[in-house]
């Protein structure tokens, strides 16, 4: 049994990834801002190996809450930085606060969470940062996603850089750049758009990759998409 931290676990991809990990017999520390939605995860999983943390990972208190649970468990085998925020707004209309908010969730929160969880990661651990095809070099870009795609692109480069630093500790770092998945977040940003992949399918893929992917790759930015567009 492995112990995995999943952020943004209250809905969508994070919710389904957590379920898949629990169903395969692992312990999951599921973090999200919504306590009620985390209760839904508890009801769906009915697993004694699920630990939930109500936390806003863009705040110091939120990071400390996850760190406290990790310290109670001990070793962490995998950290999945899944929490994200999409903003569909033209560049000229996007405010400074909106840029900061998008970067806080998509880039700085994973950076700061890794920093507080690092003492609990051991040789053979795996950090999986969930990026986007919007932040993958050479992929199609779309109007309105400048802030989001830029933050995810920075997350990809950070993943590559961190893997070089953590390689001496035997800790792998990879970034999965996801294409469109039919989540609530996607519906809110792009009403009417139908993605080719559902959250359950993607959650199962991420679950398997988090447990096994680092056996074959490290420091990689990997496109996970059925086509070039996001």
Q: What is the pLDDT of residue 180?
A: 72
Between helix 12-23 and helix 199-212 the angle, nearest 10°, is 60
Task: Look up the pTM and report it.
Answer: 0.94
Round to whole Å and give the CA distance between 10 and 169. Answer: 31
Per-residue pLDDT reduced to its tens digit, 193-225: 666 688 899 999 999 999 999 999 999 999 998
Q: What is the pLDDT of residue 230?
A: 46
Q: What is the pLDDT of residue 99?
A: 98
Q: Which domains does the chain have, with CATH numbers?
A: 3-224 (3.40.50.720)
Please list the ranges in the chain whose pLDDT falls under 50. Answer: 230
| CB contact at 8 A, 153 and 105 | no
DSSP assignments along 154-214, one per residue: HHHHHHHHHHHHHGGGT-EEEEEEE--B--HHHHHHSTT---SB-HHHHHHHHHHHHHHGG
Q: Can you tell me whether residue 92 is helix, strand or coil?
A: helix
Q: Distance from CA of residue 155 to its chain's centroid?
A: 11
Among candidates 59, 68, 144, which has minimal Cα distance to 108? 59
Round to whole Å and give the CA distance between 219 and 230. Answer: 22
Tokens coding 159: 């993943």
Which residues 6+ apart lie within 8 Å of 15 measured at CB?
9, 37, 40, 41, 199, 203
Q: In Å, how far are 43, 166, 217 from 199, measured between CA atoms?
A: 18, 30, 24
Q: Annotated catalytic, 148?
A: yes
């Amino acid at each position: 049994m492995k112990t995995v931290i999943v952020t943004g676990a209250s809905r969508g991809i994070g919710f389904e990834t957590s379920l898949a990990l629990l169903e395969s017999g692992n312990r999951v520390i599921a973090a999200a801002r919504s306590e009620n939605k985390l209760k839904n995860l508890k009801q769906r999983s009915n697993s004694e190996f699920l630990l939930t943390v109500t936390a806003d990972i863009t705040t110091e208190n939120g990071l400390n809450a996850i760190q406290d649970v990790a310290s109670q468990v001990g070793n962490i085998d995998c950290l999945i930085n899944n929490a994200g925020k999409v903003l569909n707004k033209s560049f000229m209309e996007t405010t400074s606060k909106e840029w900061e908010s998008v970067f806080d969730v998509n880039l700085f929160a994973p950076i700061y969470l890794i920093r507080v969880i690092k003492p609990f990661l051991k040789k053979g651990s795996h950090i999986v940062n969930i990026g986007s095809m919007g932040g993958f070099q050479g992929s199609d870009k779309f109007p309105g996603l400048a802030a989001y795609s830029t933050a995810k692109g920075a997350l990809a480069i950070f993943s590559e850089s961190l893997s070089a630093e953590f390689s001496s500790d035997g800790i792998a770092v990879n970034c999965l750049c996801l294409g469109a998945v039919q989540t609530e977040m996607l519906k809110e940003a792009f009403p009417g758009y139908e993605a080719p992949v559902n959250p359950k399918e993607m959650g199962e893929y991420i679950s398997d990759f988090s447990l096994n992917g680092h056996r074959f790759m490290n420091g990689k930015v990997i496109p996970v998409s059925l086509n070039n567009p996001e």
